[in-house]
């Protein structure tokens, strides 16, 4: 099974290089997609330089993360799609692999990660 990693992004130039390189190091990842929501920085250029497929959404209206995720899934070619925030500081190939491993083993059809030490429903 091939894996597509989708990074919804807007104005995250400083995170793109590391995130794309990290995703490509994960086993089974054949495609990395950066869905750009109208960045005014060099997010798109950096992503392309790192070998990511880039989907540029309208720069007139940022449609939001949910639409970016939908577009990334729709335009992905992998058997499994993994969504990851591009600005995760401690992102590793192993982190990405842990997200899709239960699907690859046939134990799950959907996996969602959670942050430790965070209250349910909390963004802080």
Q: Where are the domains of the chain?
A: 3-104
CATH topology of domain 3-104: Spore Coat Polysaccharide Biosynthesis Protein SpsA; Chain A (3.90.550)
For the chain, helix, strand, coil in percent to 5 are 35, 20, 50
Report pLDDT for 17.
Answer: 97
Interval 28-70: pLDDT, tens: 999 999 999 989 999 999 999 999 999 988 655 667 888 899 9
Residues whose CB falls within 8 Å of the CB of residue 80, separated by 6 or more in sequence, listed in order: 1, 2, 3, 4, 28, 100, 103, 104
Interval 83-121: pLDDT, tens: 999 999 899 999 999 999 999 999 999 998 876 665 555
Residue 2 has pLDDT above 90, yes or no: yes
């Amino acid at each position: 099974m091939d894996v597509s990693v989708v990074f919804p992004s807007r104005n995250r130039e400083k995170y793109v290089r590391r995130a794309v390189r990290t995703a490509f190091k994960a086993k089974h990842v054949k495609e990395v997609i950066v869905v750009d929501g109208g960045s005014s920085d060099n997010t798109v250029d950096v992503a392309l330089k790192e070998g990511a497929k880039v989907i540029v959404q309208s720069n007139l209206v940022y449609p939001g993360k949910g639409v970016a995720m939908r577009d990334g899934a729709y335009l992905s070619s992998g058997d499994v799609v993994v969504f990851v925030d591009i600005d995760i500081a401690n992102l590793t190939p192993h982190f990405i692999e842990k997200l899709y491993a239960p699907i690859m083993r046939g134990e799950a059809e959907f996996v969602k990660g959670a942050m430790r030490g965070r209250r349910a429903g909390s963004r802080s």
